[in-house]
């Protein structure tokens, strides 16, 4: 019965959310009718709020990849008048998608470093900011967003290419 208990314990959150198939619900209800321990778990407040935590760990390779993305943003930015950022960001987006397999991470890793770099690069530029008014800071943020979005578009194009390659392999 211990094996059934562990199965029922794992399925209780899904059972309470009513996201199981009919035969699985029947199995759980039969088990709950015969097992006091699992019945207490099913009715306890703790199990209602119990959610399995997602394991989110940052490995050494993730940190290296993030640092490299910041360095890449600095070296291949539109701000440095590098025209090669179009191809390099497409390749960067493709590689990022292959590494993380998540389009939102491609977006974040291509947008955030360029956005931060654009602000740092232009905060002391007298063309953007002279007296640190709300208007000038707003203009700086809009300009940084525009540059970051341009880079992100090319990274997302590269990620789309990676998605197509993954689907072709299947």
pLDDT tens by residue, 72-118: 666 665 555 566 667 778 888 888 888 888 888 889 888 888 888 88
Going from the C-alpha of 3 to that of each of 7, 8, 31, 35, 38, the distances in angstroms are: 6, 9, 11, 12, 12
| DSSP 3-state of 65 | helix
Model confidence at 160: pLDDT above 50: yes
The pLDDT score that the predictor gives to residue 50 is: 47
Model confidence at 167: pLDDT above 50: yes
For range 137-163, the mean pLDDT: 88
- Which is nearest to 39 in space by CA: 50, 29, 51, 49? 29
Model confidence at 25: pLDDT above 50: yes
| DSSP 3-state of 54 | coil
Average pLDDT taken over every residue of the chain:
78
Give the count of beta carbons closer than 10 Å to the beta carbon of residue 4: 15
For range 49-54, the mean pLDDT: 47
Which residue bears the tokens 């890793």?
109
Model confidence at 20: pLDDT above 80: yes
Distance CA 116, CA 74 (A): 10
Residue 112's Cβ-side half-sphere holds a number of Cα atoms within 13 Å equal to 11
Give the count of beta carbons closer than 10 Å to the beta carbon of residue 96: 25
Give the count of beta carbons closer than 10 Å to the beta carbon of residue 126: 7
Residue 133's Cβ-side half-sphere holds a number of Cα atoms within 13 Å equal to 7
pTM: 0.55
Confidence bin at 157 (pLDDT 50/70/90):
very high
Cβ 125 vs Cβ 81: under 8 Å:
no
Distance CA 122, CA 118 (A): 6
Confidence bin at 52 (pLDDT 50/70/90):
very low
- Which is nearest to 161 in space by CA: 75, 86, 84, 95? 95
Residue with more model confidence, 7 or 48: 7
């Amino acid at each position: 019965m211990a094996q059934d208990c562990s199965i029922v314990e794992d399925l209780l959150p899904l059972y309470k959310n009513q996201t199981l198939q009919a035969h699985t619900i029947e199995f759980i209800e039969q088990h709950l009718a015969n097992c006091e321990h699992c019945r207490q778990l099913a009715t306890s407040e703790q199990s209602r709020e119990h959610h399995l935590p997602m394991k989110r760990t940052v490995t050494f390779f993730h940190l290296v990849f993030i640092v490299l993305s910041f360095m890449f943003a600095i070296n291949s930015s539109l701000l440095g008048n590098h025209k090669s950022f179009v191809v390099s960001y497409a390749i960067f987006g493709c590689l990022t998608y292959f590494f993380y397999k998540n389009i939102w991470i491609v977006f974040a890793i291509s947008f955030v470093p360029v956005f931060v770099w654009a602000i740092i690069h232009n905060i002391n530029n007298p063309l953007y900011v002279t007296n640190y008014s709300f208007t000038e800071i707003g203009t700086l943020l809009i300009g940084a967003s525009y540059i970051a979005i341009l880079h992100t578009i090319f990274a997302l194009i590269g990620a789309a290419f990676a998605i197509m390659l993954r689907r072709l392999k299947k």
